[in-house]
Amino acid sequence: MTLLLPTLAFAQVGHPPGRSPYHDIPRGHTVTGLAGLFGGTGGRFGIAPHDGPVFGLRYDIRTASPIQLGLQLGRGNLERLIVDPFVVLENRVRGPVDQTVSFVEIDLQLNLTGGKTWHRLAPFVGVGGGLALPSGTAADTSGFELGKKIYFAPHAGFRFFLTDRVHLRTDARVIFWKLNYPASFTREPTEDPTLPPVIDDGRVSEWSTASWLQAGLGFSFSP
């Protein structure tokens, strides 16, 4: 009977005991340092912040569930264009100019392999919601401001565990936020009132998207 136990264990899981490709993901807390690239077009006029590096820090907590809760803080050194609605067409667009944006985000993440890794990999999908806090742009006199902007961020990625406690993390996310354009964009330029305004179709707001790719090194610990 004793001799049969290893054989039965192998038959049940398909791998010799101790050589399974699945290993437990540590429960508890994780801190991850992140660096990434923020993309997008900045909306139909390119005046929302986009294109630049983002650096941040992430904290996650996981219990027995495959779902974990995360808090992410980031700061982006981004660029944007300036559209001057008061001048003639050939002088309307300037830039790009620099604009920093701080991000505060809460995420729900689903680990697709449950509470385990597969060959040290742990893929995941998630969704987040956050608040973007941009710096001012003194050179923009049009009245446009991104303002304190709520955004949504579905994402997918994976973690690769170097050890039981240390892992690499990478994910790709899409940022959704709503842009509102100033009333000055609907008026004819004061330099030449015969020319059309910046917005001549009545669309003074739009939902815009931006890409955000990031990677980092994480460390897990128990309380």
What pLDDT shows up at residue 26? 82
Query: How many CB atoms within 10 Å of residue 128?
Result: 20
Asked if 142 and 180 touch (Cβ cutoff 8 Å), the reply is no
Q: Write down the CATH number for the domain with range 26-221.
A: 2.40.160.20
Q: Is the pTM of this model over 0.85?
A: yes
Domain ranges across the chain = 26-221
Tell me the HSE value of 180 on the side-chain side, using a 13 A CA sphere.
8
Tell me the mean pLDDT per 10 residues along the chain, length 223: 42 58 88 98 96 98 89 98 93 95 97 92 98 94 94 98 96 98 95 92 96 98 80
CA dihedral sign, ordered 123, 219, 34, 154: positive
What pLDDT shows up at residue 6? 47
What pLDDT shows up at residue 4? 40
What pLDDT shows up at residue 120? 94
What pLDDT shows up at residue 153? 98
